[in-house]
Amino acid sequence: MVNESQLWKTHVTKDDNKRYKNNGTHKESWCNYCIRHEARQLRSAQLDAVSMGARTDEAESEAVLEKRVRDNTNPRPSKVKEWWEHLAKKCAHVPDHVKEEAQRELEMRRQKEDHNRRVRDANKENSAQSLPAIVAPSSVPATPSRTIILSRTESLASVNSTISPNHSTPESSLSPHGRSGLIPSSMDGSPPYYGEIFSQTQPWSEARQAEFAADLCRLVIVCNMAWLAVEMPYWRAFFAKWLPSALMPGRQELSGRVLNEEADKVVAEMKVKVEGRYGTGQCDGWKNVSKTSIIGTMVNVEYTPHILHVDNVTDKPKTAVELLKLVEREIRYAVEVLKVVIVAWCTDASGESAKMRRLLVRKMPHLVVVDCWAHQKINLFCVKINLIVGDIFKITHRFVEIINNALEVVKWFNNHSRALGLLRDAQMAKFGLTLTLILPVLTRWTSHYLSVTRLVKLELAFKQLLLDAGENLEVLIVCAGTKADAKRKAKEVLDILERPDFWPDLRS
């Protein structure tokens, strides 16, 4: 049979310091799933109250609400069999796998009791002594009564609900299926209703609610939404209308407990795929849009990459020693937790990375440390390109002049929105669509080619723009502003476009 400690550790909370009433053996105990469901309902109501402005302070955490619900819920005796029966047959919020576990436990207990009964019956036939009568345990009500103390803003039912503080009611009535929220007029065509709405639909089971929260967490991440969205009034009103049986988690639960559970699932799946296999670790650094320095690590197992961690190293020195500490930690995680056999480690071609590799191989001589193949190729390619371009520049300075003129045209139009708008109008007149001017990047060699090619494609649009301006080029010149330097620069760009050899040189 299942170890009884698992019952008290995971499914049921038992207070070892309090006896159940006058019982000398059993302690006070509560179902974790019932308590958690009740607390989440209360938190959902509090979040609705906050979103509508009916509550000024923040919603309480699940842990605080669970303690309050437990303190105000009548306990049950810590009888093992009765609790297994509750989990298997009576609890509406227990996950499916726990219910199956409880059913298996009860079946094993039934088989053991049948076996013992057959032994007793056999003993009665073979012995003149009768065994003591077995007294069946008294029945336990299917649902314990609860006494919940709710404040005015917590219940959100101060007008419609008949529940009063310190009033004991059955569990069915104290598990409000109603939801409160704000229904804007755009949702159902009726005038805005700034009050409370209650739905009498049956709430989802604990398993279905957990699946909904997990899917919602993935949805928010995939859509790149802010966690705060789940607490916005319209969001909560939308789900209250279309999914009234779902308890909408708050941003703290979604970005905390639910996200951690989903991350644990990913790690568990990754363990199955990589355990006992050979892998190559690698790391690289970059800065995100908020200029935060990031180092990401991953392990490649049988041609499949798996992310390990992403670390914020903004406040740490960018040295080989610091990088070595991070790599050593990641190797220990991969070996001890994921059970991967790390055979090599790869980094980029920076100076601190090269030094880190030398330090790493001294500490772990069995590892193969390599430079990034792509960086090696890029470095070699850049050297060759620089030599080739240098030879071209030595042959003719005319090439440099043509490229510089093209870049001046691209930069000027991209920096002056009115001139760019006139160019787009000319494109629509000539082609029926608009193309963007490409400003090349110094380290992306093909971007220069693409920039010139795009200019050539727009040759007719530029000529149409100049033709529409005619002799009155002042229309284009004033796009740069009224200052003398700005006008001078505009004239220089327009002169480039009017040169008879500019477009033929670009095409050649």
pLDDT band of 479, cuts 50, 70, 90? confident
pLDDT of residue 5: 56
pLDDT, one tens digit per residue, over 185-231 is 444 454 444 443 444 567 788 888 889 999 999 999 999 999 999 98
Residue 254, pLDDT score:
92
Q: What's the whole-number average pLDDT of the chain?
A: 77
Does residue 483 have a pLDDT over 50? yes
Sequence-ordered list of residues with C-beta below 8 angstroms from that of 167, at least 6 positions apart, any chain? 147
Instruction: Tell me how many degrees the CA angle 313-225-191 measures, rounded to the nearest 5.
Output: 150
Cα distance between residue 219 and residue 226, in whole Å: 11
What's the CATH fold of domain 275-376?
Answer: Nucleotidyltransferase; domain 5 (3.30.420)
Q: What is the pLDDT of residues 139-184, one digit of tens each?
A: 433 333 333 333 333 333 333 333 333 333 333 333 333 344 443 4
Q: Is pLDDT of 409 > 90?
A: yes
**Rounded mean pLDDT, 101-123:** 76
- Within 396-501, residue ranges assigned H as helices are 398-415, 417-430, 445-457, 459-469, 474-477, 484-498
Rounded CA separation 133/111 (Å): 20
Of 139, 144, 140, 196, which is closest to residue 175 (Cα–Cα)? 144
* The pLDDT of residue 226: 92
Q: Can you tell me the mean pLDDT for 324-348?
A: 94
CB neighbour list of residue 475: distance below 8 Å, 6 or more residues apart: 422, 469
pTM of the model: 0.49
How much is the average pLDDT of 455-483? 83
Mean pLDDT to the nearest integer, 416-428: 90
More confident: 397 or 286: 286
Separation between Cα atoms, residue 167 and residue 352, nearest integer Å: 68
Which of 170-179, 233-242, 351-360, 378-387 has the least mean pLDDT? Answer: 170-179
pLDDT digits (tens, 9 = 90+) for 267-323: 999 999 999 999 999 999 988 878 889 999 999 999 899 999 999 998 888 899 999
Give residue-wise pLDDT tens across range 136-150: 444 433 333 333 333
